[in-house]
Amino acid sequence: MFSGVSITELSKQDVEDLALGATVLGTGGGGDPYIGKLMALQALERGRKIELVPPEDVEDDAFVVAVAGMGAPVVMIEKLPSGKEAAESLKSLEKYFGRKADYIICIEAGGMNSTIPLATAAELGRPVIDGDGMGRAFPELQMVTFHLYGVSATPMSMADEKGNSVILDTIDNFWAERVARAITVKFGGVAWISIYPMSGKQFKQAAVRNSLTKEIMIGRELRDAKKSGRNPLDALLDATKGFLLFKGKIVDVVRRATGGFARGEATIEGLDEFRGSKLVVKFQNENLIAIKDGEVLASVPDLITIVEKDSAKPITTERLKYGLRVAVLGIPCDPKWRTGEALKVVGPKYFGYDVEYTPVEIAARRSG
Is residue 360 within 8 Å of residue 243, measured between CB atoms? yes
Question: What is the model's pLDDT at position 78?
Answer: 61
262 DSSP β-pair partners: 257
Question: 81-90, 217-226, 261-270: which has the minimum mean pLDDT?
Answer: 81-90
On the question of pLDDT at 6 being above 70, the answer is: no
Span of 2-6, 126-130, 314-318, 324-328 with lowest mean pLDDT: 2-6
Contact (Cβ atoms closer than 8 angstroms) between residue 137 and residue 285: yes
Closest C-alpha among 81, 142, 150 to residue 117: 81
Q: What is the pTM of this model?
A: 0.93
Give the SS3 label for residue 65.
strand
Q: Which CATH superfamily is domain 8-211 in?
A: CV3147-like domain (3.40.1610.10)
The C-alpha atoms of residue 368 and residue 348 are separated, in whole angstroms, by: 22
- For the segment(s) 231-367, the CATH number from 3.40.309.10, 2.40.390.10, 2.30.110.10, 3.20.20.60 is 2.40.390.10
Separation CA 205–CA 146 (nearest Å): 9
**What is the predicted pLDDT for the residue at 247?**
98
Other CB atoms within 10 A of residue 234 CB: 12
Least confident of 38-42, 126-130, 191-195, 364-368: 364-368
Is pLDDT of 14 > 90? yes
State residue 3's pLDDT score.
Answer: 41
Rounded CA separation 6/51 (Å): 10
Residue 7 near residue 127 (C-beta atoms within 8 A): yes
The answer to whether 206 and 148 have CB atoms below 8 angstroms apart is yes
Rg (CA), the chain: 19
CB neighbour list of residue 167: distance below 8 Å, 6 or more residues apart: 92, 93, 96, 155, 156, 157
- Integer Cα distance of 210 and 362 in angstroms: 26
φ, ψ for residue 225, nearest 5 deg: -65, -40
Which residues contact residue 289 at a Cβ distance below 8 angstroms, ignoring those fewer than 6 apart?
281, 282, 296, 298, 299, 300, 304, 348, 351, 353, 355
Give the per-residue pLDDT at 2: 38
> What is the amino acid identity at position 124?
L
User: How far is residue 26's CA from residue 32's CA, in Å, rounded to a whole number?
Assistant: 10
The pLDDT tens digits for 77-113 are 566 666 689 999 999 999 999 999 999 999 999 878 9
pLDDT band of residue 261 (cuts 50, 70, 90) is confident
What does 144-193 look like in DSSP terms, one character per residue?
SHHHHTT----SEEEE-TTS-EEEE--SSHHHHHHHHHHHHHHTTSEEEE
Where do the domains of the chain lie?
8-211, 231-367
Cα 34 to the chain's mean position, in Å?
14
